[in-house]
Structure 1
Amino acid sequence: MLAIGIIPARYASTRLPGKPLIDLGGHTMIERVVRQARQANLQRVVVATDDERILRHVRDFGGEAVLTAPDHPSGTDRVREAYEQLGVTADCIVNIQGDEPFIHPGQINALLDLFADLTTQIGTLVKPVVSEEELFSPHLPKVVLDGQEQALYFSRHPLPYQRQHPQSEWLQHHRYLRHIGLYAYRPAVLRAISQLPPSPLELAESLEQLRWLEAGYPIRTAETMLETIGIDTPEDVERALRLIKNQK
């Protein structure tokens, strides 16, 4: 199976401008993401960026990068353009978040394993919720699955709602799952979903994957116990630097 990892990396960020080029313990964030992704079972890892500075930097450290349009509304659209620029035919395209420098190669491989089944169209990861803080945080979307481990719905609110128990006991009575925002797609599906208009559920929850579900595209999931750390704020940078220091 030919699998390509594409890492969308925009320069602009409301809370952290120039985020991909931030230094994290001697390596930029985007370099750390590329290094981690290269350890997975991917035949190629490509950065898709809208900025010449990021393009030059990736090529300077020996990575592969393509320049994409600056006005893509989502990382999915940027990934699609990058794949089309590459001019190759892959069996699977993995959309790897450019702001998760600690992504584990095992997480990517777990996603790739879903595509051994030729019926898989879109894949993503889920992780058990282990704390009330996770459960009730709107910044950590939750997901409910059917009996075949396919997503039924994603929400920023804990699902299901347990009428018979106080919220402080919800974790004792149900196994909640959190969504990890790593995606993989068949190329034809990636092209199709990137042309879909925003959907009512997506607009309500501000979760792009709901657009795909509303359009009838099944999303298969794999479970991971590994944590990911996204970098969105200066506080996240400090937390990442502490983690890197502790790993040495």
Structure 2
Amino acid sequence: MKIISMIPARYSASRFPGKLMQDLGGKTVILRTYEATVETQLFDDVFVVTDSEIIFNEIVKNGGKAIMSKKEHECGSDRIAEAVADLDIDIVVNVQGDEPFTEVTSLKKLIEVFKEDPDKQIDLASLMVHITDPEEINNPNTVKVIVDNFNFALYFSRSPIPYPRDTNAPVKYYKHKGVYAFRKEAILDFYRLPMKPLEASEKIECIRYLEYGKRIKMVETDVQGVEIDTPEDLERAKKLWK
């Protein structure tokens, strides 16, 4: 089984343009993420895939591997699908470019999902974290996920799900972490299939998989990590790096 990692990287992020080229302990955020992913030693290869010459040059000049997207893409999954279409691989793991604190144990759990699925019943796997802070539960920037008894995703939303009509019900809230592992066929299907209304409404790309009947295995982790979406997140990351 050949397993690679792809790190999709846009320069013009809407909330924090140029965030991947910001300094984090003497290196850029995207270079930190790339190096941390390589250092896990979990992958046969690691690439940054980008539409930005600035990011492409940053990786290549530091000895890394990067791929330039051939056209504009709406989301990271589309960018990865284009990049892997002609590669001889089985599994591709999407590591977010704005998460430089790559965590080995969680990535191992994702990869293990496919090693324990010889009949290829699982199309993709992703991470979720139990959250209890009401502010985070209600924050639309935090994507929540609900799962069935076997930890297959039922739905993702920016709204609090489930809705707490009965506040005494013993439900747990889970934050979806945007780290995915895909079978190659699943991500190519995603690329070919048009966006449907639920994905368009929520602006959550993994909903497309659910709308087309794909099976997403969610893996629980207790590692929150640091996603750099705002200048404040970057300052928090700098403190952690020290």
Q: TM-score range by the shorter chain?
A: over 0.9
Equivalent pair of 1:33/1:100 in contact (CA under 8 Å): yes
Distance in 1 between the 2:71 and 2:191 partners? 16
SS of residue matched to 2:97? coil
2:210 is equivalent to residue 213 of structure 1: yes
Write out per-residue CA displacement over residues 96-126 of structure 1, whole angstroms, 9 at most, x where no aligned residue: 1111111212222111111111322111111
Write out per-residue CA displacement over residues 34-84 of structure 1, whole angstroms, 9 at most, x where no aligned residue: 122113311111000112221121012111111113511111111112213
Equivalent pair of 1:50/1:67 in contact (CA under 8 Å): yes
2:162 is equivalent to residue 163 of structure 1: no
Tell me by how many angstroms 1:11 deviates: 1.6
Equivalent pair of 1:48/1:67 in contact (CA under 8 Å): yes
2:50 is equivalent to residue 49 of structure 1: yes
Equivalent pair of 2:121/2:215 in contact (CA under 8 Å): no
Q: Aligned residue for 1:204? A: 201
5+ long unaligned stretches in structure 1:
none
Q: Which amino acid aligns with 1:81?
A: E
Q: Aligned residue for 1:38? A: 38
Task: Say what the alpha-carbon RMSD is for the aligned residues.
Answer: 1.5
Give matches, 1:61-210, under 5 Å: 61-84=62-85, 87-116=86-115, 117=117, 118-165=120-167, 173-210=170-207
2:22 is equivalent to residue 25 of structure 1: no
Q: Aligned residue for 2:10? A: 10
Distance in 2 between the 1:129 and 1:102 partners? 19
SS of residue matched to 1:153? strand
Tell me by how many angstroms 1:145 deviates: 0.7
2:61 is equivalent to residue 60 of structure 1: yes
Distance in 2 between the 1:39 and 1:58 partners? 15
Deviates more, 1:42-51 or 1:156-165: 156-165
Q: Aligned pairs, how many?
A: 238
